Amino acid sequence: MNYANIKYCDIANGEGVRTSLFVSGCRRHCKECFNAVAWDFCYGKPFDKETRNAILASLAPEYIDGLSLLGGEPFEPENQRALVPFLHDVRVLYPHKTIWCYTGNSYEKELLAPSAARCEVTDEMLSLIDVLVDGEFLIDEKDISLRFRGSRNQRIIDMNRTRQAGHVVLWEDDPIFADHKM
């Protein structure tokens, strides 16, 4: 797997201060994608041991709330296979940090049901994620006032509560942001 970018101390892609890994490779090609350069699976640099270790080290400070996965598309099967062992390392080293993942796939229609996104490690990857931002970016639904997503059709799913409830439970933002107007 290659990665397009790593942002350390990122505050735009999940709650709190995070390390964000932008993987390379995406077959969706959303119209006006903010990161179209990362559609190419060969773009960027190899996600090697040195890179993994640098990201793991970046998660150590107490002020870092967790890891965010973006793309490209983290749920491309090739990327899932590379990310699952890494996410296990994150969980072992930092059990109290959160893992957010952004995907253009629909949770129910593409990640749980047979689709091009599902592979032998999809369920395992989903089990390691705390918050899933799902849904294809739609330019007609674009809304810059939304926190942590780009279009109104996208959802922020609390995966821990979803697993417990057996149905989708949306993530609840801090109430201070609930009625924030831009």
Write the secondary structure of 76-104 as one string of H (helix), E (strand) and C (coil). CHHHHHHHHHHHHHHHHHCCCCEEEEECC
Predicted pLDDT at 30 = 82
Predicted pLDDT at 161 = 97
Predicted pLDDT at 179 = 58
Predicted pLDDT at 145 = 86
Predicted pLDDT at 182 = 45
Predicted pLDDT at 15 = 95
For 2-178, CATH number out of 3.40.800.10, 3.40.640.10, 3.40.630.30, 3.20.20.70 equals 3.20.20.70
Kindly calculate the radius of gyration of the chain based on its CA atoms and give it in whole angstroms: 15
Predicted pLDDT at 92 = 98
Predicted pLDDT at 65 = 98
For the chain (182 residues), the mean pLDDT of every run of 10, in chain order, is 97 96 93 86 97 98 98 96 98 98 96 96 98 94 90 95 96 70 49
